[in-house]
Amino acid sequence: MAKLLKWLGLTLGAIVLLLGAFAAYVAVAPLPSYEPRPPALQVEATPERVARGKRHTELLCAGCHFDSSTGALTGKRMVDLPPQFGVAYSKNITADREKGIGAWTDGEIAFLIRTGIGRDGRYTPPWMVKLPNASDQDIEDVIAFLRSDDVLVRAQAVDDRESEPSFLTRLLCRVAFKPFDYPQQPVAAPPPTDQVAFGRYLVTARRGCFACHSADFKTNDELHPERSAGYLGGGNAMPDIAGKLVYTSNLTPDAETGIGGWTYEQFRRAMIEGIGVDNQPLRFPMVPYRIQEDEYVPLASYVRTLAPSAATR
């Protein structure tokens, strides 16, 4: 028995030492890198495509990348990042060839947006919105806009600032958060005439509503959004303007804690004007999304098909 206890003690000690060594490595090692394999993509920047891309960029990218001091998408500190992930700064995505993405190929931009891997192979943690399920057209529209001469993306030589990921972020990037595979087949959105299917596409791919409105960023499944814990049930903790944690709203049709009693007009007013059913402005980090008029009906139609779920907080 004494030998067995001694053996168990040595084994436990070795495990503790290995875990400690792994934790020390995670704490000081750079975030993982992967081999970038961008596609041979060349986007034709038509006026219609640029206009659509501007809308997508304003809704998906500007909230994190727009710096009011430069009036462009030159990057800034992401103040609404939950503190458990550390301190993050978004990147300069203007057309500057040295400090922005002006020297990137269309394929490199698409590869980053879909997989999370930059042209240098570095993996971008979960504070960057990735679009593994977005249609090819939506991705190409964004690239077309980034190539335009719009003031938001016109070249500005603004240096990037390095983010300071927390130990949790570093650990999750080793064991949970991984790059997505680049699609090997064309990706198309459902037709807008199928309002429920198109609404699901908006929630899970184009607009990414599930990311904030599910239970927790740590348990989100970006590749299979409906597998995210507490899918659209809200309760995700996010800082407000003052840094106080607030919890995202329940978007399921629960009558008491969700939007089960909302009319289409109330849904529209919240999404486009930023006014809730209590006639009060929505609190930050939720802001008026000013989505297109033809998007709020599919969004509302889809979330009404979900099983009601009581808010998680």
Does an H or E element contain 65, and which?
helix 62-65
Those residues whose C-beta lies under 8 Å from the C-beta of residue 238, and which sit 6 or more positions away, are 80, 82, 212, 245, 246, 247, 248, 285
Express each pLDDT in 67-95 by its tens digit. Answer: 999 999 999 998 878 788 899 999 999 99
Handedness of CA 167, 224, 274, 261 (dihedral sign): negative
Say if residues 167 and 27 touch (Cβ distance below 8 Å): yes
Within 10 Å of residue 162's Cβ, how many Cβ atoms?
A: 9
Please report the domains of the chain, with CATH numbers, ordered by start residue: 47-175 (1.10.760.10), 195-303 (no CATH)
What is the mean pLDDT of the segment spanning 207-213?
88
Does an H or E element contain 175, and which?
helix 167-175
Structure tokens at 60: 């998906």
Using a pLDDT cut of 70, give the percent of the chain over it: 88
At residue 26 the predicted structure's pLDDT band, cuts being 50, 70 and 90, is low
3-state secondary structure of 67: strand
Beta strand 86-87 with 164-165 is antiparallel
Which pLDDT score, from 0 to 100, does residue 289 have? 62
DSSP structure class, residue 179? P
Distances, alpha carbon 158 to alpha carbons 78, 120, 125, 246, in Å: 16, 19, 22, 32
Express each pLDDT in 263-306 by its tens digit. Answer: 888 888 888 788 888 888 877 777 666 677 788 889 889 999 99
26-46: b or e for each residue (b if 16 or more CB lie within 10 Å)? beeeebbeeebebeebebebe
Distances, alpha carbon 167 to alpha carbons 129, 179, 212, 278, in Å: 20, 19, 22, 40
Which pLDDT score, from 0 to 100, does residue 208 have? 86
First to last CA, the chain: 50
In this model, does residue 12 exceed pLDDT 80?
no
